[in-house]
Amino acid sequence: MDKFELNILGCGSALPTSRFNPTSQVVNFREKLFLIDCGEGSQLQMRLNKLKMNRLGHIFLSHLHGDHCFGLMGFISTLGLLDRTADLVIHAHPDAERIFRPQLDYFCADLPFKVIFDNISPQKHALIYEERSLKVYSIPLKHRVPTCGYLFEEEAKERHINKEMAIFYKVPLRYFIALKEGLDFTTEDGEVIPNSRLTREPEPARKYAFCSDTAPSNSIIPIIEGVDLLYHEATFAETEVNRAKTTMHSTASQAAEIALKAQVKKLLIGHYSARYRDLSVLLNEAKAIFPNTYLSDETSTIEI
């Protein structure tokens, strides 16, 4: 199966601790890397995770709070030192360009590559990026500043040809494309061979949804429905539900309820408040509602 993996570079929240870095993730899709958010230390975390910075062409920022973007300048500056020449695209709220462009001009005037800001509207669900086998959509979230998550969606795959049957019915090679697309085949004798006898179902197209930072929001459910993996922030335990509401974050139970309603396959929680030394309280509260929940950590790689 083609590689489609998630690496968590940081799963802490605003106050960095010696245990968790601020938010940053890398999606590895067929060895092309995509960075989601870029908290302070992201470049170092990539290095520790042995991810090649130059394999990365796109950065997706969820919102412009420092714990999601203070690593950006160091990251870009280091890309310059690594003799990168390919363009780097930053998908973000238009303020990102306004804030970071003057810094780039000052600190990175001699970059050997172009930094292109793709100004997006976080409050709209839209196609943000597209390549041959992958689409990335924004997921409007509810936070104190304009914020969106991102849905990484693999292209629907082709059906697999059953070669023995294709030879048996003398399907010409030029018709294989039609077979993969699901068409039936008519033999020279006029017999219609149903596609299901000539092909097998493809692997389902995989989807990953990143949702942070956000208060629980039912309006994301149609967008993330049935995804293979949902990362949803779970900053607080249920005892801090009021604080979660004020700060427009989610509790672990609220994250689990979203996962349940959206019928996702697997839930990964993160963006832990620094107050939790023991994360099992968050995990247990989520699992009580959505059993297939996991804690994110900063060393493991998750297959999507």
Catalytic residue numbers read 67
By CB under 8 A, tell whether 41 contacts a copy of itself. yes
Residue written as tokens 């790689």? 301
> Which is it for the CA torsion 17, 108, 121, 91, positive or negative?
negative
294 close to 267: Cβ distance less than 8 angstroms = yes
DSSP state of 239: G
By CB under 8 A, tell whether 298 contacts a copy of itself. no
Give all strands (DSSP E) within 253-295, no chain letters. 267-270, 293-295
By CB under 8 A, tell whether 240 contacts a copy of itself. no
Number of residues that bind a copy of itself (CB under 8 A): 32
Interface region with a copy of itself, contact rule CB under 8 A, candidates 58-66, 149-157, 172-180, 208-216: 58-66
What is the SS3 assignment for 220? helix
Q: Which of residues 84-113 bind a copy of itself (CB under 8 A)?
A: 95, 99, 102-103, 106-108
- Phi/psi for 63 (5° steps) reads -165, 170
By CB under 8 A, tell whether 281 contacts a copy of itself. no
Q: Please state, in angstroms and rounded to a whole number, the distance separating the CA atoms of residues 43 and 26.
A: 11
Q: Which of residues 132-191 bind a copy of itself (CB under 8 A)?
A: none
Residue of 81, 86, 116, 178 that binds a copy of itself (CB under 8 A): 81
By CB under 8 A, tell whether 73 contacts a copy of itself. yes
What is the SS3 assignment for 151? strand
First-last CA distance in the chain: 11
Interface region with a copy of itself, contact rule CB under 8 A, candidates 18-26, 150-158, 213-221, 280-288: 18-26
> Residue 48 or 116: which CB sits closer to a copy of itself?
48
Q: Please state, in angstroms and rounded to a whole number, the distance separating the CA atoms of residues 86 and 33.
A: 14
Tell the smallest beta-carbon distance from residue 90 to a copy of itself (Å). 16
Interface contacts to a copy of itself, rule CB under 8 A:
14-18, 21-22, 40-41, 43-44, 47-48, 64-67, 70-71, 73-74, 77-78, 81-82, 95, 99, 102-103, 106-108
